[in-house]
Amino acid sequence: MSKSPIGFFDSGVGGTSVFKAVNKLLPNESTIYLADSANAPYGARGKDWIIARCIENTELLLSYGCKIIVVACNTATTNAIKILRKTYNVPFIGIEPAIKPASLKTKTRAVGILATRGTLSSELFRKTTKLYCSDVYMVEQIGEGIVDLIESGKLYSEEMTLLLQTYLKPMIKANIDYLVLGCTHYPYLVPQLKKLLPKEVKIIDSGKAVANHTEAVLRAIHLLNETDKKPKHLFYSNGRIDVIQSLISKNAKVNYLDF
C-alpha cells in the first residue's frame, strides 16, 4: 500500500502547481493526476454539481488504487471536501486560500485575495475570514475569466494582462502588502503579477502547505513510500493535452481520458 500512488484532481491544469509542490517534498511517491479541463471552471457551477463531480473524480482515482487524495482545487475543497471525507475511508487533503498566514504577517493591514467566485462565496471561506481576518482589510477579487484563459492556452496573452491589471488596481490602491492566490491555476501567473504589483507586495499560495500536510498525514498512517526510487507519474486530461503538457515536465506523459 505504501507504494500506491497519491491521487490529485482539479477542474483542469491548475492543480499541477500543487502536484509540483508535493512532488518536490515527496520525490519517491508515485502520482496520478486528473485534469477535468472539459468541465472547467468549477467555480461557475452550483454546489451540488461540484459535489457530484468530485465524487466521480474520487471514484476514478480510487479505481487506480490511490492511497490518499489531494483535492488540488480550492473551489472543490471549499464546496465538497466535507462530504468526500464522510463518504470515503481514504484520507483527503484539501487546499484553501492562505488568508490566515497573510493576515498574521501583514504590516499595512491590507491583504488582497484573488480567487474564484465559488471559493469566495463558500461557507468555509467566510468562516475562515471571520475567524482570522476580522482586523484586516481584505480586498476580495473574483478572478473571472482567468481560469478560462489558462485552460485555453492563453497564460501569456494581452487579454490576461488586461484582466490582471483591472483586478489588481483596487488592491494596489488599498496598499496591500500580501496577495493571496486562492486558486491553484494562479501560481502560474506569478511572473506577470510581479511585473504589475509594487515590488514590496508578497505573493503567497498554499502549495507548500498542502505538501507539508500530505507528508504529515502519510507519515502518521505509515504510508510514506520510503523505498521506491522510481516513482511513476501519470497525468490524465479530458481537455487539451498541449496546455497541461506546457505546464509540466516535457518528459511527463499526458494521456487523453474521456472521464
Binding site for ligand DGL (CB under 6 A): 10-11, 14-15, 40-43, 73-75, 116, 118-119, 147, 183-185
Q: Which residue is nearest to ligand DGL (CB)?
A: 43
Set of cell numbers at residue 143? 478572478
Note if 133 is an active site residue.
Answer: no
DSSP 3: T
Residue whose cell numbers read 451540488: 48
Query: Any idea of the CA torsion for 42, 160, 142, 105, to the nearest 10 degrees?
Result: 110
Set of cell numbers at residue 42? 468549477
Cβ-based nearer residue to ligand DGL, 112 or 118: 118
Cβ-based nearer residue to ligand DGL, 7 or 15: 15
Cβ-based nearer residue to ligand DGL, 73 or 111: 73
Asked if 37 and 238 count as a contact pair (C-beta separation under 8 A), the reply is yes
- Provide the 3-class DSSP secondary structure of residue 137: strand
DSSP 5: P
Interatomic CA distance for residues 109 and 231, integer angstroms:
44
Cβ-based nearer residue to ligand DGL, 5 or 14: 14
- Kindly state the smallest distance separating residue 251's Cβ from ligand DGL, in Å: 24
- Kindly state the smallest distance separating residue 252's Cβ from ligand DGL, in Å: 19
- Kindly state the smallest distance separating residue 228's Cβ from ligand DGL, in Å: 29
Catalytic residue among 54, 66, 133, 183: 183
Cβ-based nearer residue to ligand DGL, 124 or 223: 124
Q: For residue 101, which of 204, 228, 240, 15 has the smallest C-alpha distance? A: 204
Catalytic residue among 54, 66, 73, 133: 73
| Residue spans of alpha helices (H) in 33-88 | 47-63, 74-87
Residue whose cell numbers read 511527463: 252
- Kindly state the smallest distance separating residue 188's Cβ from ligand DGL, in Å: 10
- Kindly state the smallest distance separating residue 238's Cβ from ligand DGL, in Å: 14
Set of cell numbers at residue 33? 493526476
- Catalytic residues, by residue number, are 73, 183
